[in-house]
Structure 1
């Protein structure tokens, strides 16, 4: 299934707008204590293996750390890798990914909107403006890096976000911090945010475990 950007006025899956999080949780913060920006939420459709679940993704935009522009990678061959215990919680330093049941979903109304809201729609047809792919298998840019197990559970392929995505921001949103030519941080001049260096982003997940300990992310670029 393709994940297309849609012109619908309402959707359970969307970029930006009001964050959807599990009941009882708060908007995640970076190691420096700043609120992370809400990037997107997806409510998986009936045809998906994670039907009945929602994924919400956040990333730090007020802080920049050169060592964490993409999720930390395992130090072993990635194909079929057994992921060490607690890795999926511990590696979420400058980003956060919550995977939870739909009935546990709440919307945060007092969050300062940053990324402009764009509805998303799952479809078997490729639209004009495609956000990503949520078929049976990933479309790898490079070699297959499908993980094996985490805490004894197999990780299902959730989706991939296509590379070169940018996320338009609201007029009041602060500029994203990025690296300057001296290796320091500076405000991004373009009025949009990017995620994981605009790489191809692959999400895998499991129904087992806690909300914040279920999602494995790997990125690729050609």
Structure 2
């Protein structure tokens, strides 16, 4: 049985330090030789949303995943991560898809021990630590890591990548999750009336329209990769 963990976001009262390996906002803790991602649509540096360090009983033990997304531009084609055509359940994801679909977002996977707080990044989302609590099968938490996904709609778990690598469940986030921003952070751009692009008046960012978000991973010959599915 694969162990599940409920993810619990703490309060924005603690200062970030290198002791935290799972957290929302602040400055990303990633290897020095990895550049801060930029949006392929507008070229702007993407905002750091959160990262998770996977536990020792997870398929990605000793690895971390950091999630970035652009808040500077808006394109209706890329409100959420592109998905393959046809049925998603047990789908075989075509070759190259996982390298090409990260257009206005980026998901970095790396060895946790090799990471450091990146002082060259300007904090946008408020730092909040993430803790984890073991949960039993049947616990209906939509914010979890490991185990099996809790689907809001139909089961859309992928099967394999084109190279034969098997997908496994990483984590999921609930709908309407708000990523509170620091006072000096730029506002997230949105489509207003008449599809006019304008800054949001909200003091938080949303990731992928704040839908339910599911993350799956593979260990392929070309490295560790992530496939994202959203439901609403």
Aligned-partner Cα distance in 1 for 2:148–2:135: 16
What SS does the aligned partner of 1:89 have?
helix
Count of aligned positions? 217
Q: Match of 1:158?
A: 170
Q: 2:30 aligns with which of 6, 21, 37?
A: 21
Q: Match of 2:103?
A: 93
Cα deviation for residue 44 of structure 1 reads 0.8
If the length of structure 2 is used for normalisation, what is the TM-score? 0.88
Distance 1:36 1:52, change over 3 A: same
Q: Match of 1:118?
A: 128
If the length of structure 1 is used for normalisation, what is the TM-score? 0.92
- Residue 204 of structure 2 is aligned to residue 192 of structure 1: yes
Partners of 2:190 and 2:198 within 8 A in 1: yes
Structure 1 residues 12-21 or 131-140, which shifts more? 131-140
What SS does the aligned partner of 1:217 have?
strand
Partners of 1:2 and 1:123 within 8 A in 2: yes
Q: Match of 1:35?
A: 45
Q: 1:135 aligns with which of 128, 131, 146?
A: 146
Unmatched segments (≥5 aa) in structure 2? none
Deviation per residue, 1:34-55 (Å, 9 max, x gap): 0000000100112322211100
Q: CA RMSD in A?
A: 1.9
Cα deviation for residue 11 of structure 1 reads 2.2
Deviation per residue, 1:156-178 (Å, 9 max, x gap): 10000111101000111000001
Cα deviation for residue 148 of structure 1 reads 0.9
Q: Match of 2:214?
A: 202
Structure 1 residues 175-184 or 96-105, which shifts more? 96-105
Q: Match of 1:5?
A: 9
Distance 1:138 1:125, change over 3 A: closer
Cα deviation for residue 209 of structure 1 reads 4.6
Cα deviation for residue 104 of structure 1 reads 3.1
Aligned-partner Cα distance in 1 for 2:101–2:88: 16
Aligned-partner Cα distance in 2 for 1:82–1:199: 23
Aligned-partner Cα distance in 2 for 1:132–1:60: 22
Q: Match of 2:64?
A: 54
Partners of 2:21 and 2:29 within 8 A in 1: no
Structure 1 residues 195-204 or 130-139, which shifts more? 130-139
